[in-house]
Amino acid sequence: MGVLVGKKAPLFEADAVINGGEFVEKFSLEQFIGKKHVVFFFYPLDFTFVCPTEILAFQKKLAEFEKRDVAIVGCSIDSKFSHWAWLNTELKDGGIKGVKFPLVSDLDKTISENFDVLAGEYDYDEEDDLSTFEGAAVAYRGLFLIDKQGVVRHQVVNDLPLGRSVEEALRMVDALQYFEEHGEVCPADWHPGEDAMEATAEGVASYLASH
């Protein structure tokens, strides 16, 4: 599994569904550079079981992310038509109707590959011709916090059965933005309103002495 922290997020242009039902071609994260932080997350498949709990949890906290100037963007290997159908299916019928943030279609799996979250790999024969795909051809539950310069500052990747914490994603946004504004680093389990510390030996010692 690749580590993208500290590197530019891979670029892409892809079909997406926005605002709960509008098709967009050539959707790209580049539109947010210089303007917003981005939480870009992958999930395995539409019309499944753990995935809607995560997506609906992000929607529930969407206003909290937006007031921090953070864009939420989801992505799976499903087609834009599958995204549209799921977004227009009632919750009681297994849908995610009411979700407003963009869902990107990674139908050819190149975005998942470039972010290194594809749950498997392609196998090639001796002539370097594509032979088979080994594994589940879906994305792991990867999440990437991307700053306004397009650099990945945080990533976490869960196996398929393990749902993520949206609260933790929000906490990481707060920690990054606090560091960007104040220059102080955030210790373990830090939350807004708590003490941070200077990134020096003296700063660490002072923080530990007071806690």
Which of 119, 122, 117 shows the shortest CA–CA distance to 137?
A: 119
**Cα separation values, 178 from 66, 75, 143, 185, Å:** 16, 27, 20, 8
Helix (H, G, I), strand (E, B) or coil at 166: helix
**pLDDT, tens digit, for every residue of 143-199?**
999 999 999 999 999 999 999 999 999 999 999 999 999 888 877 888 888 887 776
Which sequence positions are flagged as catalytic?
A: 51
Domain residues of the chain, as ranges?
14-162, 165-211
CATH of 14-162, one of 3.40.1160.10, 3.40.1390.40, 2.40.160.40, 3.40.30.10: 3.40.30.10
> Mean pLDDT, to the nearest integer, of 61-75?
98
In the chain, pLDDT over 70 holds for what percent of residues?
89
Q: How far apart are CA 187 and CA 196, in angstroms?
A: 6
Cβ neighbours of 132 (radius 10 Å): 10
Helix (H, G, I), strand (E, B) or coil at 82: helix
Non-local (6+) Cβ contacts of 129 within 8 A are none
Q: Kindly report which listed range (3-17, 61-75, 151-165, 185-199) carries the lowest average pLDDT score.
A: 185-199
pTM assigned to the model: 0.90
**Cα separation values, 77 from 5, 127, 159, 186, Å:** 23, 28, 16, 35
